[in-house]
Structure 1
Amino acid sequence: MSVVIDITRLRPEKVFVVPSPLTELGLALHARSEPGHHPALQGWATALSSRLDPGLADRLCEADFLWRTTFSDVFAPFAAVPGHAILPGATLAEELDLLDQLSDEQFVHAALEFSCQSSYEAGGPGALDDEGVRRRALELAAARGGGREQFARRLLADPPAVRDWFRRLVRDCEEAFFADMWASIQPELAADARHRTELLRRKGLAEVLASVSHAVSVDEEARQITVDKLVEGHATVDDGGLVLVPTSLGRPHLMVLHRRGWRPAITYPVRGPGQQAPSVEQLTRRLEALAHPVRIRLCRHLARAPYTTSELADAHGMTAPEFSRHLGVLKKAGLISTRRRGRYAQHQLDLSAVARLGSDFIEGLLR
């Protein structure tokens, strides 16, 4: 599974690396609502929650589904402004002005993304125009609870009022905590953007995306970008180009905006992990390798000491060729190492790789 971006029409000068204060605010709200996604930010999230005005905290609870699962595309209005190659604004005020340029249909569709839609890329009529779509959206909102049905009804009944409510919420967040936060992190994001832009100029798109994340690759011949994620999606770059948005809060998320009719954008964490997580394919291979009872017992031996294939086959009452097949599966999954001692090959479990499986699995889910 992966998200594929068609870059057939992408020109080199149409790749932009630009920080977005509204995107960063969306991620800040997400990290506060889901500290389990961001263990390194739990202290910050707890401190923020403790000092928030109760009134603002209650208002944030009204629509926290806009950023709890991940953050809604309403935090990336630059990607939706029609007819222009618009970049993220330098300030929240500029980005809220971009938000005002979205049609009610665009705003509603993006705001209902995690509440009332079963498909991110669904086309066709929207909830404002089609009674059947509207009814289904409200059913999904009611089933998902957490005040979503009430918010969805407000949104569908009066989109301008909810847009105004959202604008005031953003401005109050800026006054309460985000202005100071943005002042401290913006220099790092700007420096990262300059670095990637220079790398793009000197080395090209493939080198830049490889530096952003090992989960992003470019096929120059097929003219497409592939983002390794546990989700399927497709987007096409038009004359507006491609936007890369650095964030100091995103890890482990690597977010790809591929909404139909919107400009593709990749939001990436500026601080990459020290140990690269395996690809979705590698992770699946490792989990499947450990799902067999014989290989589980084999791992018990290999966790204690190195063994040859013959030793292991004798210990488990199997032939050497049979055991070699099980060893091959574990080796292909990257879970065992082999070293030669004279004419003997000894195998041992890679304990560090096995120990990382839990965190790798979580990162794969959240990427």
Structure 2
Amino acid sequence: MSVSIDIAGLRPERVAVVPSPLAELGMALHALAEPGHHPGLQAWVTGVTARLDPHLADRMCEADFLWRTTFSDLFLPSAGVPGRTTLPGATLAEELDLLDKLSDEQFVDAALEFTCALPYGLPGPGPLADEGLRRRSLELAAARGPQQVRFTERLLADPPRIRAWLRQFLQDCEEAFFADAWSRLRHQLAADTRLKTDLLRRKGLAGALAAVSPAVTLDEATGLITVDKLGDGRTATGDGGLLLIPTSLGWPHLMVLHRYGWQPVLHYPVGSPEPAAPPSVEQLALRMTALSHPVRMRMCRHLARSAYTTSELAQVHGMTAPEISRHLGVLKKAGLISTRRRGRYVLHQLDVTVVARLGSDFLEGILR
């Protein structure tokens, strides 16, 4: 399993390493929503949460699926600008102007990525044009809760209104906590940008990618970048460019934007994580046995990001509901997942705190 980027014909000047304040704000929101993914940020999360205005906190919950369950491509709008060569802005305001350049169709498709209802790497109509996709998006949003349903309904009914809402929300986040964080983080990101740009000049793309992550490799003979992830995807630079965007808040997430028609992006973490605490021998034996099956490993990739119903997992993995239920039973017996009921939906989710005790290598692998 991997995500690949075909770079055949890519000109060296079309490869850019550049920080993105909007992408970093997206990672800040993700860390606030899922602190278990980022044990090294616990102190920062606690401090921001304690100072957060209650009204802004409520608004965060209203659309948190944009950064909690997936990292929405809305936080990388430069990749969607026609021509596929646009760079991120130097300031959040400039990046929000780039977000305004996306069409309503692009905006809605990227915002509804959390439902898994839309073809991500393939061409095709979106829910604004396809009534079947519209119904499917609302159905899958219902499994996430009433707030997600209401937001999705408003998004489909009036995209410009939601676009204005999101822009104002992100500006309010900048004022409340992100401006202070960015003033500290941008220096580290700028230093990494200079380092990777120098490597591009001296050692070429293969040298720069080797410094990004051991999980990223380039086969220069075939012109194919391969990112080792528990997921599948393929894209190509075509006549566009390739963006390498560092993140300070994002470890352990190594993400690849491979949306059809968008500029490919590698969003990679900077800095070294703190080592995880070792698990007990009793936990290790039971839990590693449960995780030894490749299907259950792939399931963990989804369950680490969000809660899913059995039927959703069955659809994603191309299996029957009883087969998925058996695998869920093994994971639950090992104490690796939690289950809760919301109305008529039964949702399952990975306990990332428990998984972290198995070791940072496994956690990084499923969250990559």
Q: What pairs with 1:91-130 in structure 2 (closer than 5 Å)?
A: 91-115=91-115, 117=117, 119-130=119-130
State the TM-score, normalizing by the size of structure 2. 0.76
| C-alpha RMSD of the superposition | 2.1
Letter aligned with residue 367 of structure 2 = L
> Partners in 1 of 2:181 and 2:105 — Cα distance?
32
Per-residue CA deviations over 1:178-230 (Å, capped at 9, x if unaligned) read: 11111111111111101110111001111110111000000011110000000
Secondary structure of residue in 1 paired with 2:142: helix
Per-residue CA deviations over 1:16-53 (Å, capped at 9, x if unaligned) read: 00000000000000001000000001111111111011
In structure 1, the partner of 2:350 is none
How far did 1:359 drift? 2.6
In structure 2, the partner of 1:258 is 258
Conserved in 2, the CA contact under 8 Å of 1:17 and 1:196? Answer: yes
In structure 2, the partner of 1:200 is 200
Q: Percent identity?
A: 67
Secondary structure of residue in 2 paired with 1:243: strand
Q: Taking structure 1 as reference, are residues 288 and 120 closer, same or farther at Cα in structure 2, changes over 3 Å only? A: farther
Secondary structure of residue in 1 paired with 2:359: helix
In structure 2, the partner of 1:361 is 362
In structure 2, the partner of 1:45 is 45
Conserved in 1, the CA contact under 8 Å of 2:118 and 2:126? Answer: no
Any gaps of 5 or more consecutive residues in structure 1?
Answer: 276-286, 293-354
* 2:223 is the alignment partner of 1:223: yes
Q: Taking structure 1 as reference, are residues 50 and 116 closer, same or farther at Cα in structure 2, changes over 3 Å only? A: same
Conserved in 2, the CA contact under 8 Å of 1:155 and 1:162? Answer: yes
How far did 1:83 drift? 2.3
How far did 1:119 drift? 4.7
Secondary structure of residue in 1 paired with 2:113: coil
In structure 2, the partner of 1:311 is none
Secondary structure of residue in 2 paired with 1:123: coil
Q: What pairs with 1:135-150 in structure 2 (closer than 5 Å)?
A: 135-145=135-145, 147-150=147-150
Letter aligned with residue 366 of structure 2 = L
In structure 2, the partner of 1:242 is 242
Per-residue CA deviations over 1:226-278 (Å, capped at 9, x if unaligned) read: 00000000010022210000110111110100001110000111114588xxx
How far did 1:356 drift? 8.2
Per-residue CA deviations over 1:144-203 (Å, capped at 9, x if unaligned) read: 225111111000000000000000001101111111111111111111101110111001
Q: Taking structure 1 as reference, are residues 70 and 238 closer, same or farther at Cα in structure 2, changes over 3 Å only? A: same
Secondary structure of residue in 2 paired with 1:113: helix
> Partners in 2 of 1:67 and 1:185 — Cα distance?
19
Computing the radius of gyration from Cα coordinates, the structure with the larger value is: 1
Letter aligned with residue 54 of structure 1 = P
Letter aligned with residue 132 of structure 2 = G
How many pairs does the alignment contain?
Answer: 295
> Partners in 2 of 1:131 and 1:273 — Cα distance?
45
> Partners in 2 of 1:274 and 1:34 — Cα distance?
17
How far did 1:110 drift? 0.2
In structure 2, the partner of 1:166 is 166
> Partners in 2 of 1:268 and 1:149 — Cα distance?
32
Per-residue CA deviations over 1:63-116 (Å, capped at 9, x if unaligned) read: 001000232100000000002511000001000000110000000000000135
In structure 2, the partner of 1:342 is none
Worse overlay, 26-35 or 124-133: 124-133
> Partners in 1 of 2:33 and 2:209 — Cα distance?
29
Secondary structure of residue in 1 paired with 2:143: helix
Letter aligned with residue 181 of structure 2 = M
Q: What pairs with 1:1-367 in structure 2 (closer than 5 Å)?
A: 1-83=1-83, 85-115=85-115, 117=117, 119-145=119-145, 147-273=147-273, 358-367=359-368
> Partners in 2 of 1:24 and 1:239 — Cα distance?
27
Conserved in 1, the CA contact under 8 Å of 2:217 and 2:226? Answer: yes
Q: Taking structure 1 as reference, are residues 232 and 361 closer, same or farther at Cα in structure 2, changes over 3 Å only? A: same
> Partners in 2 of 1:272 and 1:264 — Cα distance?
25
> Partners in 2 of 1:210 and 1:200 — Cα distance?
11
Secondary structure of residue in 1 paired with 2:47: helix
> Partners in 2 of 1:356 and 1:116 — Cα distance?
29
Per-residue CA deviations over 1:319-361 (Å, capped at 9, x if unaligned) read: xxxxxxxxxxxxxxxxxxxxxxxxxxxxxxxxxxxx9853322
Secondary structure of residue in 1 paired with 2:42: helix
Conserved in 2, the CA contact under 8 Å of 1:217 and 1:227? Answer: yes
> Partners in 2 of 1:162 and 1:53 — Cα distance?
21
Letter aligned with residue 10 of structure 2 = L
Secondary structure of residue in 1 paired with 2:249: coil
> Partners in 2 of 1:124 and 1:291 — Cα distance?
37
State the TM-score, normalizing by the size of structure 1. 0.77
Conserved in 1, the CA contact under 8 Å of 2:84 and 2:263? Answer: no
Q: Taking structure 1 as reference, are residues 19 and 226 closer, same or farther at Cα in structure 2, changes over 3 Å only? A: same
